[in-house]
A = this chain, B = another copy of it.
Amino acid sequence: MTINLDKYIRDKAEIINRALDECLGGRENPLRPIMDYSVLSEGKRFRPILVFAAMESLGGDFIAALPAACAVEIVHCFSLVHDDLPCMDNDDYRRGRLSTHRKFGEAEALLAGDALMMQAFEILSRPSCNAWATPEKKIEVIFELSAASGAKGMTGGQYLELIKSSAEVDELLLAEVHRLKTGASIRCAVRIGGILGGASPQDLDALTEYGESIGLLFQIVDDILDAEKDDETISFSSFYGVAEARGKASEAAERAREALARFSGKKELLIQIIDFLLKRKR
């Protein structure tokens, strides 16, 4: 049976949007409107979809990955809120509407980001909704998410990008910034799906390399699509030029395919995701 990836993404995004709405907690929370605005927008939901896809490729039921998928997406959304702040990228717009701090104020956005980060870990540890995984697996998921999001992952990447001027950019730094800033969270999403799906060590290794490769692919294509904007100091397209960057994207796609050759689970969905990322226009 051939999988229709467009439909898969649409269906899963709808499920994740409903679950995010539910898991953000009660309406009596005064920060809730700001958290809603930051999370319940037109996101691609790429990371939670990767959690589901990895889980399903191992024969698991994606429903059990729903709390983890929500937590991964909430951490991603928190990072966008803080990244847009005046002291960081100072972005007035995000996904076609006002950024959180432009809509609600700077302190409000800071605190909503902090609250979202805590919410992610609360979702993963709630006693009221705990049948989705064993305590051992939950701890593994919490470790993956916290390690991928902190100083040795996403936040570290944001920091490197902040302190390095464009004059300092070389091949190594470019790769390192993106490995941390975007790559770590995409790798983490795939690994969490693998862990929850009960991957063997060999399969988890293969999924990890797949995740690293599509993380790189995702970022290169993002940089190519953003090439006209040229407000990024550390970008694959501005460093290599668009043509060479396209070559790098194809290489990353090829590495992702090679990783799947060593994967014992179902591959079709994961392969389709590679092609989707390579060809996406937005």
User: Which residues of A approach B to under 8 Å, CB–CB?
Assistant: 25, 29-32, 35, 79, 82, 85, 87-88, 105-108, 110-111, 113-115, 117-122, 124-127, 130, 134-136, 138-140, 142-143, 145-147, 149-153, 155-156, 158-160, 162-163
Contacts and interface: CB of A to CB of B under 8 A. Distances in A.
A104 to B, nearest CB: 10
A149 B111 CA distance: 11
A231 B35 CA distance: 29
Contacts of A146: 118-122, 125
Contact of A121 (B35, B142, B162): B142
A67 to B, nearest CB: 12
Given A110-B110, A115-B151, A125-B140, 11 more contacts: A30-B159, A31-B151, A87-B105, A88-B107, A111-B158, A111-B159, A111-B162, A117-B117, A119-B150, A122-B147, A125-B143
Given A125-B142, A159-B30, A159-B31, A151 B119 contact: yes
A248 to B, nearest CB: 25
Nearest to A113: B114
A210 to B, nearest CB: 22
Contacts of A140: 125, 127
Nearest to A137: B135
A35 to B, nearest CB: 7
Contacts of A142: 121, 124-125, 142
Contact of A156 (B31, B85, B88, B136): B31
Contacts of A35: 151
A140 B122 CA distance: 10
A107 B135 contact: no
A150 B122 contact: yes
A82 B25 contact: no
Contacts of A107: 85, 87-88, 162
Nearest to A34: B159
A29 B118 contact: no
A29 B121 contact: no
A145 to B, nearest CB: 8
Contacts of A134: 135
Nearest to A88: B107
A265 to B, nearest CB: 23
Contacts of A87: 105-107, 110
Contacts of A110: 82, 85, 87-88, 110
A162 B117 CA distance: 19
Name the residue among A82, A107, A135 with the largest chain B CB count within 10 angstroms. Answer: A107
A268 to B, nearest CB: 32
